Chains A and B, each alone.
Chain A
Amino acid sequence: MIRRELLGGLFTEVTPLQYRNVNKYVMGGIFLKALPDLAQNNHHLSIARKSEGVWAKLLKEVKRDYWLYLMLVPGVLYFLIFRYAPMWGLVIAFQNYMPFLGIAKSEWVGFAHFHALFTSPDFWMLLRNTLILAAYNIFLFFPLPIIIALMLNEVRHEVYKKVVVSLIYVPHFLSWVIVVSFFYFFFSIQNGIVNEILQSLGFQKVHFLDSARWFRPMVTLEIIWKETGWGTIIFMAALAGVNPQLYEAARMDGANRWRQLYHITLPSIRSTIIILLILRLGSFLDSGFEQIYLMLNTLNREVGEVFDTYVYTVGILGGQFGFSTAVDMFKSVVGLVLVLITNRLAKKFGEEGIY
Chain B
Amino acid sequence: MGKEFKRIVPVVSMLLIAALTGCSGGSNKPSATVSTDSAAPLRIQMMSQFESAEPPTADNPIVKYIEQQTNTKLDITWVLNSNYTDKLNVTMASGDLPQVMLVVNPQDTVIVSAAQSGFFWDVEPYLKDYPNLSKLDIDTLNNTRINGKIYGLYRGRYPERVVMYYRKDWLDNAGIKEPPKTVDDYYNAIKAFTLNDPDKNGKQDTWGITENKDLGTYTFPLLFGAPNGWGYINNQVIPDFMTNEYMDYLKFMKKLYDEKIINQDFATVPGAKVSEDWTSGKIGIRGNIVEAYRGETFVGLGKTLPGADVHIIPALVSTTGQKRVAKGSGFLGMYMFPKSSVKTEEDLKKILSFFDKMADDKMVKTVMLGIDGVHYKEENGVQKILDETNYNKEVVPVQHLAMRMDLVNNGTPLAKEAADTLEEIKQYGVADVSHGLILSVESKKKLSTNKKIIDDAKIKFIMGVIDEAGWGKEIENWKQSGGADVVKEYTELYNKYKK
Residues of A within 8 A of B (CB): 1-4, 7, 11, 67, 70-71, 73-74, 77-78, 81-82, 98-102, 121, 184, 188-190, 209-210, 297-299, 301, 314, 316-321
With A78-B20, A100-B119, A101-B117 in contact, is A188–B268 under 8 Å at CB?
A: yes
- Contact code string B441-474 (vs A, CB < 8 Å = 1, else 0): 0000100110010011001100101000000000
Q: Contact partner of B27 among A1, A74, A299, CB < 8 A? A: A1
Q: Contact partner of A299 among B86, B89, B267, CB < 8 A? A: B267
Check if A320 sits within 8 Å of B445, measured CB to CB. Answer: yes
Q: Taking CB as reference atom, which chain A residue is nearest B25?
A: A1
Q: Give chain A residues whose Cβ lies under 8 Å from the Cβ of B465.
A: 299
Check if A319 sits within 8 Å of B109, measured CB to CB. Answer: yes
Q: Taking CB as reference atom, which chain A residue is nearest B18?
A: A74
Interchain residue pairs with CB less than 8 A apart (14): A4-B93, A73-B17, A78-B20, A99-B114, A100-B92, A100-B95, A121-B481, A209-B268, A210-B265, A298-B460, A316-B89, A318-B448, A319-B92, A319-B113
CA distance A299 to B86 in the complex (A): 24
CA distance A188 to B90 in the complex (A): 34
Q: Which of B8-16, B225-233, B241-249 contacts A (4 or more CB under 8 A)?
A: B8-16
CA distance A335 to B482 in the complex (A): 33
13 additional contacts (CB under 8 A) given A98-B113, A301-B452, A317-B89:
A3-B96, A4-B96, A7-B90, A73-B13, A74-B13, A74-B16, A77-B17, A81-B24, A102-B95, A184-B268, A209-B265, A210-B267, A319-B108
CA distance A299 to B462 in the complex (A): 11
B23 to chain A, nearest CB (A): 8
B140 to chain A, nearest CB (A): 25
Q: Does B94 contact A (CB under 8 A)?
A: yes
With A297-B267, A298-B456, A301-B452 in contact, is A100–B338 under 8 Å at CB?
A: yes
With A102-B95, A190-B263 in contact, is A318–B268 under 8 Å at CB?
A: no
Check if B93 sits within 8 Å of A298, measured CB to CB. Answer: no
Q: Taking CB as reference atom, which chain A residue is nearest B108?
A: A319
CA distance A2 to B267 in the complex (A): 39
How many chain-B residues does the 8 Å CB contact rule pick out?
47
With A98-B117, A299-B463 in contact, is A7–B24 under 8 Å at CB?
A: no
Q: Contact partner of A298 among B21, B110, B267, CB < 8 A? A: B267
CA distance A74 to B17 in the complex (A): 6
Check if B213 sits within 8 Å of A298, measured CB to CB. Answer: yes
Q: Give chain B residues whose Cβ lies under 8 Å from the Cβ of A71.
A: 13
With A81-B20, A317-B85, A319-B110 in contact, is A3–B94 under 8 Å at CB?
A: yes
Q: Does B319 contact A (CB under 8 A)?
A: no
Q: Give chain A residues whose Cβ lies under 8 Å from the Cβ of B460.
A: 298-299
CA distance A298 to B117 in the complex (A): 36
A323 to chain B, nearest CB (A): 10
A111 to chain B, nearest CB (A): 19
CA distance A318 to B213 in the complex (A): 20
Q: Contact partner of B90 among A73, A77, A316, CB < 8 A? A: A316
A137 to chain B, nearest CB (A): 23
Q: Taking CB as reference atom, which chain B residue is nearest A312?
A: B86
Q: Contact partner of B109 among A4, A102, A318, CB < 8 A? A: A318
CA distance A188 to B267 in the complex (A): 11
Q: Give chain A residues whose Cβ lies under 8 Å from the Cβ of B24.
A: 1-2, 81-82
Check if A67 sits within 8 Å of B117, measured CB to CB. Answer: no
Q: Does B340 contact A (CB under 8 A)?
A: yes
Check if B10 sits within 8 Å of A98, measured CB to CB. Answer: no
Q: Give chain A residues whose Cβ lies under 8 Å from the Cβ of B338.
A: 100
Q: Does B217 contact A (CB under 8 A)?
A: no
Q: Taking CB as reference atom, which chain A residue is nearest B455?
A: A298
Most A C-beta atoms less than 10 A away, residue of B93, B94, B117, B448: B93
Check if B13 sits within 8 Å of A317, measured CB to CB. Answer: no
A21 to chain B, nearest CB (A): 22
Chain B residues 262 to 304 lying within 8 A of chain A, measured CB to CB, are 263-265, 267-268
Chain B residues 53 to 94 lying within 8 A of chain A, measured CB to CB, are 85-86, 89-90, 92-94
CA distance A71 to B463 in the complex (A): 60
Q: Give chain B residues whose Cβ lies under 8 Å from the Cβ of A188.
A: 265, 268
Q: Taking CB as reference atom, which chain B residue is nearest A321?
A: B93
Q: Does B306 contact A (CB under 8 A)?
A: no
Q: Does B125 contact A (CB under 8 A)?
A: no
B453 to chain A, nearest CB (A): 10
Q: Give chain A residues whose Cβ lies under 8 Å from the Cβ of B263.
A: 190
